[in-house]
Amino acid sequence: MQPDERSFRIALTADRYMNPPAGGLDGLAVLAEAGWGVIQLPAEDYPAPVAERILAEVADQVREFHSHGYELVVVGESGQLDGALAVVGVSVPDQVIPASAAELRAFLAARPVPAALRGR
């Protein structure tokens, strides 16, 4: 059995940082390098019913991570995420809308140790 290598750190990430336009910031690459897991938020131009269904599933997953002390952040615009999280009783995590890879790296580096890891 190999050791479990999870980071207990997850970024709820806007689509434009997952699938950046030409010249845009590749947030996924920065998050991967920094050891963060990613939950993708729906693209801004998805029809509202489609985005709502995706966000409801995202919220269910976020609640599980939140209740187990994983560190959560939002990268980019979060759309209707606040409403979906309210349904499961979780507030929107701290957010960054980075203009550069350096800004995103600095934000991630300044995050606290996940509660799940404290005291280990």
Partner 1 sequence: MSVSAAYAWVMGVAFVAHCLLNQNSKVAEGAHCAGVYSPVVDVLRAKGWRIEQMPCPELAFSGLNRFWAVREQYDTAAYHRHCQRLAVAVADVIGLRVQQGEDIVLIGIEGSPSMGVHITSSDPERGGRPRWPDGTPEHTDGEGIFIEELRRELENRGIGFPRVAGETHALADHDEAAQRAALEATLDG
Is 107 an interacting residue with respect to partner 1 (CB under 8 A)?
A: no
Structure-token pair, residue 33: 């390098």
Q: Which two tokens stand for residue 6?
A: 């999870």
Please state whether beta strands 71-75 and 95-96 pair in parallel, antiparallel, or not at all (unpaired): parallel
Q: Which of 14, 25, 36, 76 binds partner 1 (CB under 8 A)?
A: 36
The contact mask relative to partner 1 for 3-32 (x = CB under 8 A, - = no) is xxxxxxxx----xx-xxxxxx--x-xx-xx
Q: Does 109 bind partner 1 (CB under 8 A)?
A: no
CB of 54 to partner 1, least distance (A): 5
Where does residue 41 rank: exposed (0-12), middle (13-18), buried (19+ CB within 10 A)? Answer: buried
- Residue 61's φ and ψ, nearest 5 degrees, are -75, -40
- Of 58-66, 76-84, 90-98, 99-107, the window that binds partner 1 (rule: CB under 8 A) is 58-66
Strand partners, 12: 39, 74
Q: Look up residue 107 and give its two tokens.
A: 């934000």
Asked if 105 touches partner 1 (CB under 8 A), the answer is: no
Question: Rule CB under 8 A: which residues touch partner 1?
Answer: 1-10, 15-16, 18-23, 26, 28-29, 31-32, 34-40, 43-47, 49-50, 53-54, 56-58, 60-61, 64-65, 68, 70
